[in-house]
Structure 1
Amino acid sequence: MEVATATEASAPAGSGRASWQSHPFPWLDLAISEPYYFLHLLAFFSYFAARSTAPSAEDDGELHARLIRREIQAVLVFLVLFTVKIVKEENWETFIADSLLYAKGLLLAVTFVIDYKLSICYLLAFVVIYAVAQQPPYDGLGHSNHLTPLQLETMLTEDPKTRFCLVEFRTSFLANCIQASSVLPELSNIYSNKNISFGIIDLGHFPNAAPRFGISMLDHLPTYILFDKATEVARFPEIGNATKVFVPKVTKKLLCQHFDLDRRLIEYLST
């Protein structure tokens, strides 16, 4: 597995250096250019203006002291949750989504101390942001390809270049798909070889492909199917899963174990 480790380390490192050289503050460019991040940024910074409406220590010393305590508590709680998430999460999209969720909840709790009407206004603002903006998915492809259903069928049946093909079926409007959008490209950087290839099909563009592959658009997205030539040999989540509520979060480790990618890579290296 030394080859896989080396590939995993070199691919992200190279892309990270390139992005840093092209833009010294890529996160700032993203925060301004993407409506989802920009609107959240405006909402959070607007708290400083809303904070000025709170009673001062001279006007209401007790309320002012309680607000200060709540602000300190909110910052400390957020830092703890932030630290836990950054250690546990595998992908950046899920980390950002969860961090924003925690920040919004704590902001609502703090503004409720100032005035419950202000808290309601922030709640409505977050609902509007959710309605008009969407978290952008991971924009890299690694060694995977965006496919149409016809391209997938052709790739599987007409003299396939690789024996196995792992395909992700997702939509661009579901939070679960957006938060897992970096998993398959990163896996393709590690495992892509002459024995296995990777592809992505957006069911939002090709909804008729969902029933062809036995995929429900209402739940269990994203779905991952491993094909051996034109035959399906495994999928996640599996059809007929006893529970449709507690589906494990999609991670690189989960997919590696479920599809036994390490063994397939070893078989390729040994041939």
Structure 2
Amino acid sequence: MSLKKHLRVLAKPYYWVNILLAISYLLAKKLIPICTRVFKHRGDEMCELDSRETEILFFLLIVIMIRSRKTGSVTMINYLSASFIYTKVANTILWAYNDFRFGLGFLLLCILVGMLLPEPSYRGPEHITYFRNHEIFEEELTRDKRINWLICFYTVWNPSCVNFAPVFAELSAEYSLENLRFGKIDIGRFPIVAQKYHISDSSFSRQLPTVILFQNGKEVERRPTVSANSKLQKFFFSTDNVRAAFGLNNLYKQSVENPIKQAKPINAAAAAAIKKAQ
């Protein structure tokens, strides 16, 4: 994503309001007019961070870095989205550390913002089949073995799945053909599918999302993969990584060169001849 696109996304109210909430305590501490009014009960050092406040902020920084890497956040927007929940928790603790009423007020403000400003969802073009039934999903994979399916197994609550949604949508808009299709299935709703394809849907799972390429009705490639010693191989779900891992350019070329041939419609005269022969 270019800098211009980043700035366009950050201009949305969800992001700048949450950024203000994330730095609200530091702003209140460092802006003298606000600090002298809000923290006047702290005495002469009211506008300086004490050791406990510094520890909380340092711990917050470590948590954000670790969790962002685990969720595969590779862009500024992804880092911000993954960090908002932790910054809100830390700021609630900091405000409550100074005054319980401040902490309660900040918590209520976060709840209100969450209700009024949900995270923006991707609204661009996409060509994705959303499977609402696990039986239909299995039938569709084998119904026509000339069709290559790239399936994303996801859950609605997982941050990595949310971050990957626009990437998968953009790829579907770029590569979708009659014989190269993109699909998604929520394994949180259909755990039987997760079990069949050996994908953990727990809150600590590092397999979300999982993307599998099916050819001739069978799995031929997946990301993330599991090594020979049963260790999960980390995979960052960026557009270029997915394109390279599944060879989408070559797959698209092959699909264009070998289109699904539709049966020619029978004209009225031919239909009458067949009926007469019967």
TM-score, with structure 1 as normaliser: 0.59
Contact 1:165 1:226 in 2 (8 A): yes
- Report Cα offsets for 1:57-76 as digits up to 9, x if no partner: 9x62x543x36xx9xxx9xx
Post-superposition Cα deviations, 1:44-64, rounded to whole Å, max 9, x if no partner, equal 59755984321399x62x543
- Alignment pair present for 1:189 and 2:173: yes
How far does residue 155 in structure 1 lie from its aligned partner after superposition? 1.9
Q: Which residue of 2 aligns with 1:27?
A: 12
Alignment root-mean-square deviation, CA: 4.8
More relative contact order in 1 or in 2 (CA 8 Å, sep 6+)? 1
Aligned length: 220
Counterpart residue type for residue 170 of structure 1: Y
1:191-239 per-residue CA deviation (whole Å, 9 max, x = no partner) reads 1123310000011221222112222223211111110031111111124
Match of 1:232 among 202, 210, 219: 219
For residue 98 of structure 1, report the CA deviation from its aligned partner. Answer: 3.6
Q: Does 1:154 align with 2:139?
A: yes
Residues 108-119 of structure 1: pairs in structure 2 closer than 5 A: 111=94
Per the alignment, residue 264 of structure 1 pairs with 251
Question: In structure 2, how many angstroms separate the alpha carbons of the residues matched to 1:159 and 1:223?
Answer: 23
Q: Secondary structure at the match of 1:193?
A: coil
Q: What whole-Å deviation, never above 9, does each CA across 1:137-162 have from its counterpart, x for those lacking one?
A: 845471112113222222222235x5
Q: Percent identity?
A: 23
Determine helix, strand or coil for the equivalent of 1:198. Answer: strand
5+ residue gaps in structure 2? 259-278
Distance 1:45 1:235, change over 3 A: closer
**8 Å contact 1:135–1:178 — kept in the other structure?**
no
Partner Cα separation in structure 1 for residue 90 and residue 191 of structure 2: 38
Aligned partners of 2:76 and 2:220: how far apart in 1? 27
Structure possessing the higher radius of gyration over alpha carbons: 2
* CA–CA distance in structure 1, aligned partners of residues 126 and 75 of structure 2: 16
Deviation at 1:185? 1.0
Indicate how the Cα distance of structure 1 residues 207 and 115 shifts in structure 2: closer, same or farther if over 3 A, else same: closer
Residue 183 of structure 1 and its aligned partner are, at CA, apart by 2.1
| Residue 177 (str. 1) matches residue 161 (str. 2) | yes
- Mark the runs of 5 or more structure 1 residues left unpaired by the alignment: 1-15, 32-36
**SS of equivalent residue, structure 2 residue 191:** coil
Does the residue aligned with 2:40 lie in a helix, a strand or coil? coil
Distance 1:119 1:89 in 2: 37
- Residues 199 and 173 (structure 1 numbering): CA distance in 2 closer, same or farther, change over 3 Å? same
Structure 1 runs of 4+ aligned residues shifted over 6 Å read 132-135
Task: State how far apart, in whole Å, the 1-side matches of 2:213 and 2:92 are.
Answer: 44
> What amino acid sits opposite 1:27 in the alignment?
K
CA contact (8 A) 1:137 1:172 kept: no
The aligned residue for residue 192 of structure 2 is 208
User: Within 1, Cα distance between the matches of 2:88 and 2:251?
Assistant: 43
Look up the SS of the partner of 2:149 in the other structure. strand
Instruction: Work out whether 1:243 is the aligned partner of 2:227.
Output: no
